Amino acid sequence: MRVGFSFTLEASDGAARSGKLVTPHGAIETPTFMPVATYGAVRGVAPNELRNAGAQILLANTYHLHERPGEACVEKLGGLHGFTGWNGPWLTDSGGFQITSLADRLDVDERGVAFRSPLDGRTRLLTPESAMAIQQALGADVAMALDECQPARTADADLRVRAATERSLRWAERCRAAHSCPEQALFGIAQGGSDEALRRASARATAAIGFDGYAHGGLGLGEERAARSDLIAAAQAEFPAAAPRYLMGLGRPVDLLDGVAAGIDLFDCVLPTRHGRHGVLFTSRGLLRFKNARFREDPDPPDPKCDCPLCTGYSRAYLAHLVRSGEALGARLASLHNLRFYLRLLERARVAIAAGSLAALRAEVEASAGEEAP
């Protein structure tokens, strides 16, 4: 581990574990969920609100911040900790996922990824070396290696996934060699699509390069839930147990608990804020859609079991009105509620792991995984 970092495992329940990840900007109790602040802000939610909701670490995106406002600007203003209002731990995503999400405007070759920016029409090249330099300038506590993320379900999936997985390993070595900041941890990413043997081999080779933590990339892109659990377990067996493990970009509450049960420590996903902006809430009784007319005159709190500002201060009827009128307050309060729901779910998972009762929590969340019946 780097200067100012440590990771201590505190309790376990089967393969699930809870622990404490110490970074130069604060300690993180794991497992936990990282709200996504792509451009250095969680859309519509202020840093003090995130902290009150239980957030311990935020995730920002290297490529998007490189494009706007540029890492030199962020670095000049004190890095992410000084530039944004969040002075707790930060993790920066390397930009590898944008190979999937922005696939129609980029080219990938052995050097790196060339993005054609819609902002100014310029082409920007992200290489393993520049991904490290940008993340060091942004000053995140945890940087991610640049990987090539390929969805497992394309026509020529097998060849593409294998080639991308092998290239990701070569890039991982280049990232490892280029990374020089002693106060920033660097995590490696295993790929492998839906091929269990390939994923295991990728995890083993990534672990052999030697990183401060390890991530599962390229999941949640169409594979079945049960198959995903097998893929995660195969890679987990190759990661060193003493290092933190991160499941990238997933998912629904049940997916998070599947990950917790497999021994994952860190999660992120845009789903809580994206759903929140559309008036869709995760609740203890399942998904609620506030565009639905049935909430028009409902005086109850959105989720009676939730302790967030929305559920302790407003009715379902008022939220439905805000959502249907397109008021920004509705999107904001709903996003904040969904983040609190996710963060509280992981808080409950930590308690359950210590008590040996994770199976009961999974059963409860499984039972409320669908949409609440009208």
Which two structure tokens, joined as six digits, stand for 166?
């092998």
> What is the three-class DSSP state of 18?
strand
Catalytic residue among 258, 265, 268, 303: 268
Binding site for Zn ion (CB under 5 A): 306, 308, 310-311, 337
Phi and psi torsions of 185, nearest 5°: -80, 150
∠ at Cα 218 (216, 221), nearest 5°? 130
How far is 217 from 144, CA to CA, in rounded Å? 11
> Is 268 a catalytic site residue?
yes
Q: Residue 270: exposed, middle, or buried by beta-carbon count in 10 A (0-12, 13-18, 19+)?
A: middle
- Tell me whether residue 312 or residue 325 sits nearer to Zn ion (CB atom): 312
Q: Which of 193, 350, 204, 338 minimizes the C-alpha distance to 265?
A: 350
Q: Residue 180: exposed, middle, or buried by beta-carbon count in 10 A (0-12, 13-18, 19+)?
A: exposed
CB of 305 to Zn ion, least distance (A): 9
- Tell me whether residue 169 or residue 345 sits nearer to Zn ion (CB atom): 345
> What is the three-class DSSP state of 160?
helix
CB of 41 to Zn ion, least distance (A): 21
Which two structure tokens, joined as six digits, stand for 316?
């379902």
Sign of CA dihedral 25, 66, 127, 222: positive
* Alpha-carbon torsion angle 269, 245, 139, 44, nearest 10: 20
> Is 265 a catalytic site residue?
no
Q: Which of 189, 364, 358 minimizes the C-alpha distance to 266?
A: 189
Q: Which of 268, 258, 269 minimizes the C-alpha distance to 236?
A: 258
Exposure on the CB side of residue 205, measured as CA atoms within 13 A: 18
- Tell me whether residue 198 or residue 308 sits nearer to Zn ion (CB atom): 308
CB of 369 to Zn ion, least distance (A): 18
- Tell me whether residue 185 or residue 306 sits nearer to Zn ion (CB atom): 306
> What is the three-class DSSP state of 5?
coil
CB of 334 to Zn ion, least distance (A): 9
With tokens 């295993």, the residue in question is 190
Catalytic residue among 93, 147, 195, 255: 93
- Tell me whether residue 28 or residue 310 sits nearer to Zn ion (CB atom): 310
- Tell me whether residue 16 or residue 310 sits nearer to Zn ion (CB atom): 310
User: Which residues belong to the active site?
Assistant: 93, 268
